[in-house]
Amino acid sequence: MSQTKRRDNGTDQRLPLLIGLVAVFAAGVATLSLLDSIRNPPTSGNQLITVAMLILTVTISLPVKAPIRIRSTTHATAWVETAIVIGVAVAPTSWVVLCTGLGVAVATRIMRLSSIKTIFTISKNMLVAAGAGTTLTLLGWVWPPPDGLPYMIAPLAAAYAVAALLDEALGIPVIALAARTNVLQHFVTNWDLRLAGFGVRFVVAVFTLILLRVETWLLVAMPPLALSLHLAYSTRVRARAERYAWQRLAHTTDALNVVDLNAVLRTAVAQAADLFSADEVEVELQDNKRTVRGNSETISYDGFASPPSFTNGSIIPMEMKGYDGSAVGMLRLRFHGPVKLSEREQYTLRTFASALCTAVRNASAYAELNRVAEEHAHAAAHDALTGLANRRHLLDRGADQLGQRRTEGVIALLLIDLNHFKEVNDTLGHAAGDRVLIQVAERLRAAVQGDDLVARLGGDEFAVLFHGLPAPAVAAHRAESLLTALHEPIDLDGMRISVEASGGIAVAPSTGGMTELLRRADVAMYQAKRAGRRIATYAPARDTADLSRLALGGDLPRAVADHEFTVNFQPIVDLGSGEVVAAEALARWRHPARGTIDPLRFLETVERSGLLPAFAEAVLDQSLIAAQTWREAGFDLPVAVNVSPRSLLDARFPGAVLARLRAHDLPPDRLVLELTETLTLSQLEVVDQVLGQLRDAGIRLALDDFGTGYSSLSVLSRIPVHELKIDRAFVTAMETSAEATAVIRSTVDLGRSLNLVVVAEGVESEPQRMALWELGCSAGQGHLFARPMPAARLLSALHQGAGGRPGTLAPALHDEGAVVRLSPGRRSGPRRVERLPHLPA
């Protein structure tokens, strides 16, 4: 059973209890009045006439009333209390109480009221008579009063006030419970009219008593006067009720002036329940049979099943018709009891139903316009074939995210182009090609993470916009997983088609917006295609569109001749002990006009200029000289030098390196050649031979920026390296990104299983150092220990040491000889922390 039904039952149960309580008190008063009347019965003829007139007056005054309907209950203001006050003024209270009961009983019989209404009306008026009479008795009233008119007013006013208050206090709670409305609201509503009505009726009672005191025959003038006053009062009540009704109708139709259909229906139910004082209102739409049902306080049902209503009394239906005569549904007013609307209420109902019809049509039209607009907006922002975002949507979303990137992490773009897709169209037809594109779109959509946006830019070109990345390097891993999702062959009518794709990754630039980001991703994608790779990351050094880089080419010969290329060194430190175990050589171009230039800005220009051997020899010479200087000072540190992939295509390169080692009298194992993971030529036979010769000669090889390329394992299986260097982007992001931590952990585990040394780049803080050490990473470099510096300054720092320990740049994590229980992630039990050997040894 619904909450509304339970509440109605509760109200119905309270109503008989209240009426019964009133009847019990009335029965007690009637009993006392009967006993008093037996002791003092009317005996004379005048007394008997008075009793008869009292009964007749009460009987006549009850039907004379101004009715007001509240839901299924009619509230009427009658003249009974006027007759009662006149009666208690001229006769004993006990007679008046009994006469009131008898007169009301006769009147209710004539009016054919229900039993419960008859009992309540008799009981209430008998209590009113008892209250008014008792008040006059307490004030010492006698009839006729010995004094003049002024002395009559005060007792009569007091008696009339008691009668009026009793009538209100007993009647309004019963009416409120019967109508299931708020009691306080009934006391407040039309209080001024009710007060005015009591005043008018009091004046009639006073004049009647004056006439009785002066000349009894003047009473013939009272009925017309009373009737005139009653008609005037009733007219004013009806006028106010109609004025309020029209005001509420105007307010209600204004409230329907909304464009949301749900709001229209729910507002209509609530407003109609209040406007027509209905127990329940139901709106049923014709097109989809949607039904909304409720009252002024709550919506009890909103759906399409239309269960039966618990309000089973009167039902007043009204079609919701427009001016053209067509209907959109049905409006129903439901009442718990029998109700017949007045002519004014019927007209109001038709007007309201017509306004509701218009509001429903307007809201439906607005919803349809919105739907069409959304379809057009979706079509304008999405690809018709695959349903993915199109270029316009990609550019708009990217522009929004670039505006928020200060707080939302790194933004990157992956551009994907299907290889040999034209062959599918030419061989199997465009319909088959469309099916391939649809499946590619579905796989990309399923493989993206979070709110990353997948778009089709046209043809066989797709794009994925990453945002909120903890580090730029994470984009490469996500790109790898997306392209891996395309590896599974596609089944086309029994044929299995393998999809190959090339991808280019670019991180959002500081200037240029989405247009520049898209251009950079496009540059990276074509670099991947030209190199025969699956993924390439945009590097400014390989962007031929940078005109400023072209200007450097003319300065290269002078730079080599004038020794403008210099080398700084960044130490590599044992993470546990803080001891320096190696140093990486970092080339710089001290340009006389442009200042210090980073290798990413000039390295490709050097490679294309034909001056690469001279540049590489200059860097190698300075590095080996520094290593020899440190060794002579007692710090036997290997030096790591980056090698250009183009140098590995030169079969003479190993001989040149070994010649420089001999010239500086350094063992080969003091030199570490760092190879970038973006090495695109590792599958060429000449590269294999060059690397083999270098390793066989004792030179150590390291794989730099490990984890940022897609071919990490394939490169490891082909290149005989000794060390892995974790890219700084993963180290920076490891405190906030589980992905970055997972990459570091897997790299350390891989190095341990292959007996390789693992070095972390970009160590900036002690928490990073501790976390890396606990993961099993043995060495690291970064600003926590030292920034890149000239060889002489590094030697001075080695002499000074940390905490008086030469050769160190950081305090040890643990005291020497301490036993430390390591986390399970290092896959080793408790061990003594000892001084680590030199990194390459």
Per residue in 577-605, pLDDT (tens digit) is 999 999 999 988 887 777 777 676 677 66
What is the per-residue pLDDT for 293? 86
Two structure tokens written together for 37: 């009347």
Whether the CB-CB separation of 197 and 79 falls below 8 Å is answered with: no
What is the per-residue pLDDT for 711? 44
The three-class DSSP label of residue 693 is: helix
Place of tokens 């959109």: 328
- For residue 128, give every residue at least 6 positions away whose Cβ sits within 8 Å of its Cβ, in sequence order, or none: 80, 81, 84, 100, 163, 166, 167, 170
What is the per-residue pLDDT for 43? 66
Whether the CB-CB separation of 673 and 719 falls below 8 Å is answered with: no
Mean local confidence (pLDDT), 168-176? 74
d(CA 668, CA 670): 5
List the one residue out of 642, 636, 644 whose CA is nearest residue 580: 636
Residue 820 has pLDDT above 80, yes or no: no
List the one residue out of 373, 405, 403, 391 whose CA is nearest residue 453: 391
End-to-end Cα distance, the chain = 84
d(CA 36, CA 27): 14
Is the bond preceding residue 571 a cis peptide, omega within 30 degrees?
A: no
Residue 368 has pLDDT above 70, yes or no: yes
Angle between helices 93-111 and 3-39 (to 10 degrees): 130
What is the per-residue pLDDT for 10? 43
DSSP-assigned letters across all residues of 101-143: HHHHHHHHHHHT--HHHHHHHHHHHHHHHHHHHHHHHHTT--S
Rounded percentage of the chain residues whose pLDDT exceeds 90: 20
d(CA 463, CA 457): 7
Tell me, what amino acid is at 238? R
What is the per-residue pLDDT for 569? 95
Name 566's bridge partners.
588
Residue 547 has pLDDT above 50, yes or no: no
Mean local confidence (pLDDT), 799-807? 89
Mean local confidence (pLDDT), 447-468? 89
9 confidence band (pLDDT: 50, 70, 90): very low
Mean local confidence (pLDDT), 770-781? 93
Domains in the chain (CATH in brackets) are 3-222 (1.10.1760), 256-370 (3.30.450.40), 391-538 (3.30.70.270), 567-832 (3.20.20.450)
| Exposed/middle/buried for residue 66 (C-beta within 10 Å: 0-12, 13-18, 19+) | buried
Higher pLDDT: 221 or 396? It is: 396
User: How many CA atoms, within 13 angstroms, populate the side-chain half-sphere of residue 322?
Assistant: 10
Place of tokens 């009272």: 222
List the one residue out of 80, 215, 87 whose CA is nearest residue 141: 87
Residue 67 has pLDDT above 60, yes or no: no
* Strand ranges for 374-499 from DSSP E: 410-419, 453-458, 461-469, 490-492, 495-497
Residue 29 has pLDDT above 80, yes or no: yes
What is the per-residue pLDDT for 133? 82
Residue 667 φ/ψ, nearest 5 degrees: -65, 150
- Per residue in 263-276, pLDDT tens? 888 888 887 877 77
What is the per-residue pLDDT for 129? 83
Higher pLDDT: 497 or 570? It is: 570
Higher pLDDT: 258 or 299? It is: 299
List the one residue out of 228, 234, 170 whose CA is nearest residue 196: 234
DSSP-assigned letters across all residues of 273-288: HHHTT-SEEEEEETTT
Two structure tokens written together for 584: 């990486």
The three-class DSSP label of residue 44 is: coil
List the one residue out of 326, 345, 504, 301 whose CA is nearest residue 415: 504
What is the per-residue pLDDT for 834? 36
What is the per-residue pLDDT for 841? 29
Mean local confidence (pLDDT), 222-250? 56
Return the minimum-mean-pLDDT range out of 396-410, 472-486, 710-724, 806-820: 710-724
What is the per-residue pLDDT for 473? 84
List the one residue out of 568, 577, 572, 570 whose CA is nearest residue 759: 572
d(CA 669, CA 638): 7
Rounded percentage of the chain residues whose pLDDT exceeds 70: 75
Whether the CB-CB separation of 764 and 785 falls below 8 Å is answered with: no
In this structure, the number of other CB atoms found within 10 A of the CB of residue 788 comes to 18
What is the per-residue pLDDT for 772? 94
Two structure tokens written together for 543: 């962007």
d(CA 761, CA 759): 7
698 confidence band (pLDDT: 50, 70, 90): very high
Name 76's bridge partners.
67
Report DSSP state, residue 648: G
Instruction: Name the most confidently modeled range: 447-456, 594-603, 701-710.
Output: 447-456
553 confidence band (pLDDT: 50, 70, 90): low
Cα distances (Å, whole numbers) of residue 562 to 552, 558, 625: 15, 6, 18
Return the minimum-mean-pLDDT range out of 296-305, 492-501, 727-736, 824-833: 824-833
226 confidence band (pLDDT: 50, 70, 90): very low
Whether the CB-CB separation of 697 and 669 falls below 8 Å is answered with: no
- Per residue in 72-84, pLDDT tens? 444 455 667 777 7
831 confidence band (pLDDT: 50, 70, 90): very low
- Per residue in 565-575, pLDDT tens? 889 999 999 99
Whether the CB-CB separation of 638 and 670 falls below 8 Å is answered with: yes
Residue 665 has pLDDT above 80, yes or no: yes
Whether the CB-CB separation of 630 and 791 falls below 8 Å is answered with: yes
CA 802 to chain centre: 53
What is the per-residue pLDDT for 464? 95
- Per residue in 506-543, pLDDT tens? 998 877 788 889 889 988 888 888 777 788 888 876 66
In this structure, the number of other CB atoms found within 10 A of the CB of residue 222 comes to 15
d(CA 811, CA 292): 75
| Exposed/middle/buried for residue 494 (C-beta within 10 Å: 0-12, 13-18, 19+) | exposed
What is the per-residue pLDDT for 301? 86
Ranges of H-type helices in 755-815: 766-775, 791-800
What is the per-residue pLDDT for 206? 73
Return the minimum-mean-pLDDT range out of 320-329, 442-451, 608-617, 829-838: 829-838
In this structure, the number of other CB atoms found within 10 A of the CB of residue 633 comes to 14
The three-class DSSP label of residue 817 is: coil
d(CA 783, CA 773): 17
Two structure tokens written together for 806: 């030469």
Q: Radius of gyration (Cα) for the chain, nearest Å?
A: 50
Average pLDDT score over the chain: 78
Return the minimum-mean-pLDDT range out of 322-331, 351-360, 453-462: 322-331
What is the per-residue pLDDT for 539? 81
798 confidence band (pLDDT: 50, 70, 90): very high
- Per residue in 715-768, pLDDT tens? 676 677 899 999 888 898 888 888 889 989 999 998 998 899 999 999 999 999
Return the minimum-mean-pLDDT range out of 358-372, 532-546, 623-637, 817-831: 817-831
What is the per-residue pLDDT for 599? 72
d(CA 251, CA 234): 25
DSSP-assigned letters across all residues of 584-637: EEEEEEEETTTEEE-HHHHHHHHHHHT-HHHHHHHHHHHHHHHHHHHHHTT---
Two structure tokens written together for 493: 């009518």
Q: Tell me the helices (H) and strands (E) count for the chain, helix number first.
A: 28, 25
Two structure tokens written together for 702: 């390291």
List the one residue out of 643, 642, 648, 697 whose CA is nearest residue 668: 697
Is the bond preceding residue 144 a cis peptide, omega within 30 degrees?
A: yes
- For residue 324, give every residue at least 6 positions away whose Cβ sits within 8 Å of its Cβ, in sequence order, or none: none
d(CA 541, CA 602): 7
- 804 Rama class: left (phi>0) / alpha (psi -120 to 50) / beta: left
The three-class DSSP label of residue 689 is: helix
Mean local confidence (pLDDT), 222-230? 47
Place of tokens 């390989």: 542
- Per residue in 673-697, pLDDT tens? 998 755 444 445 667 788 889 999 9
Whether the CB-CB separation of 141 and 213 falls below 8 Å is answered with: no
What is the per-residue pLDDT for 161? 85
